[in-house]
Amino acid sequence: MKAAPGAELACKTLTYSFPHEGDRGAITYYAVHALGGATTMGSWLQRIQARSSEDRRRGTFPSLNLPALQVVGPAAARLPGTPF
C-alpha cells in the first residue's frame, strides 16, 4: 500500500504524556529531540534509541511505547542541512 502524498512519514504509535510537553506521539517526541547534534541518519537513530532507552531505564517512559526503528538505506547518509 502506498502512502498519500505528504503522508509518507506518518506513523501510528501510542501517545504518551511527556513532562513539560503534554501528549505526543513517542516517535515524534524522540525524533525531534534527537535531531540536534545528529549528522547522519545512523547517528540520528542512535540518539533516538539512547534517549528513549534512558527514559525507560529511569522509569519516566513505559517500555510498551519504546520506539523500534531502523534506517532504510545507508546509515551514513548525511542529514539535510549538515555540513560535509
Give pLDDT tens digits for 61-80: 887 767 778 888 888 988 88
Q: How confident is the model at residue 10 (pLDDT cuts 50, 70, 90)?
A: very low
Is the predicted pLDDT of residue 12 greater than 60, yes or no?
no
Place of cell 531502523: 70
- For residue 40, the SS3 value is strand
Q: How far apart are CA 60 and CA 63, in angstroms?
A: 10
Tell me: pLDDT of 2 over 80: no
pLDDT over threshold 90, residue 43: yes
- d(Cα 29, Cα 51) in Å, to the nearest integer? 10
Domain ranges for the chain:
26-72
CA distance 68 to 76: 19
Global pTM?
A: 0.71
Give, in order, the Cα–Cα distances in Å from 82 to each of 16, 29, 47, 71, 77: 30, 21, 16, 18, 10
Give the per-residue pLDDT at 50: 92
* d(C-alpha 49, C-alpha 62), whole Å: 14
pLDDT at 28 over 70: yes
